[in-house]
A and B are shown apart, each in its own frame.
Chain A
């Protein structure tokens, strides 16, 4: 194994605050209306790992498959199994999202399976978060916010693209018919939260804890 310093970045005993902690979403969730067109939920404190390697190398794709049980997805798609998802970010770059607390063990498993190869696995859990938008008007909010065509004919379920969102960068993931996920940077989370409140005001916004 290489001499990379792999350690538990989020210790079990420590109190963790998600990027939208200060917005008090848990508090707002109790006050929400039931008839809202847009439902927002932060999928907070998940494990995010960026995996890089050569997709054409069978040793790499095989190693990832043996460690995760997921095939490397092709361009602009994501594959999921339970709460774990693997997404294409670039021709040699993938994003793995695992349930909170599993990232350390899975990183070690990946490193073992890919031992000796020219690869990188980086835990970026602290730098980004996922905001899930659902409800009948979720797509209308996206249409106001991004230049990318989010019509189902161009953006079917299972597709994931990096694009601009409200002048910031974001990865938009279509995970269910009326369910979309935004992968945003920690430093942009406050701005995106304010933007989403404003953009979904006309449809009614409810927050889910």
Chain B
């Protein structure tokens, strides 16, 4: 059982209070009518399926019933951070890559 930090309630809660809602940071096209079918189809249906860091939308369904974002590693299932809607993630593929390189003693 995972414990997930809800940024609204401000504490760790058990996984069963939450639902995952798919990929985060997908902006709706500003002018849907100006989209080609392909662009609109990509927006509606196509999602990333990365191996590694994934930014996702979660909802605290049984608690405060608010949405928030979570950064999760899709291999280890480790949730690296949670943050409110509108905020930017601090853990990204780039920052994790840098850290790995430093710990492994890789130099440019």
The answer to whether A and B assemble together is yes
Residue positions of A touching B, CB distance < 8 A: 75-76, 89-91, 93, 147-148, 161-164, 169
Most A CB within 10 A of own CB, among B1, B13, B62: B62
> Is B10 engaged at the interface, CB distance under 8 Å to the other chain?
yes
CB closest residue in chain B, given A169? B62
Q: Give the chain A neighbours of B62 by CB distance below 8 A.
A: 162-164, 169
B10 lies within 8 A of A75 (CB)? yes
Q: Give the chain A neighbours of B63 by CB distance below 8 A.
A: 161-163
Q: Which of B1-44 contact A (CB under 8 A)?
A: 1, 8-11, 13-14, 16-17
B16 lies within 8 A of A91 (CB)? no
B13 lies within 8 A of A163 (CB)? yes
A164 lies within 8 A of B10 (CB)? no
Given A91-B64, A91-B66, residue A164 in contact with residue B9 (CB < 8 A)? no
Q: Give the chain A neighbours of B64 by CB distance below 8 A.
A: 89-91, 93, 162
Q: Give the chain B neighbours of A163 by CB distance below 8 A.
A: 13, 17, 62-63
> Is B65 engaged at the interface, CB distance under 8 Å to the other chain?
yes
Q: How far is the CB of A176 from chain B (nearest CB, A)?
A: 22
Smallest CB-CB A-B distances: 4 pairs: A90-B64, A147-B14, A162-B63, A164-B62
B16 lies within 8 A of A164 (CB)? yes
CA distance A97 to B13 in the complex (A): 26
CB closest residue in chain A, given B65? A90
Given A75-B9, A76-B9, A76-B11, residue A164 in contact with residue B17 (CB < 8 A)? yes
CA distance A164 to B64 in the complex (A): 12
CA distance A169 to B13 in the complex (A): 14
CB closest residue in chain A, given B1? A147
Q: Give the chain A neighbours of B10 by CB distance below 8 A.
A: 75-76
CB closest residue in chain B, given A90? B64
B8 lies within 8 A of A91 (CB)? yes
Q: Give the chain B neighbours of A76 by CB distance below 8 A.
A: 9-11
CA distance A143 to B13 in the complex (A): 15
Taking a contact as CB atoms closer than 8 A, the residue among B1, B8, B14, B17 that contacts A90 in the complex is B8
Q: How far is the CB of B1 from chain A (nearest CB, A)?
A: 8
CB closest residue in chain B, given A88? B64
Q: How far is the CB of B65 from chain A (nearest CB, A)?
A: 6
Q: How far is the CB of A103 from chain B (nearest CB, A)?
A: 22
Q: How far is the CB of A150 from chain B (nearest CB, A)?
A: 13
Q: How far is the CB of B7 from chain A (nearest CB, A)?
A: 9
CA distance A8 to B72 in the complex (A): 49
Q: Give the chain B neighbours of A161 by CB distance below 8 A.
A: 9, 63
CB closest residue in chain A, given B64? A90
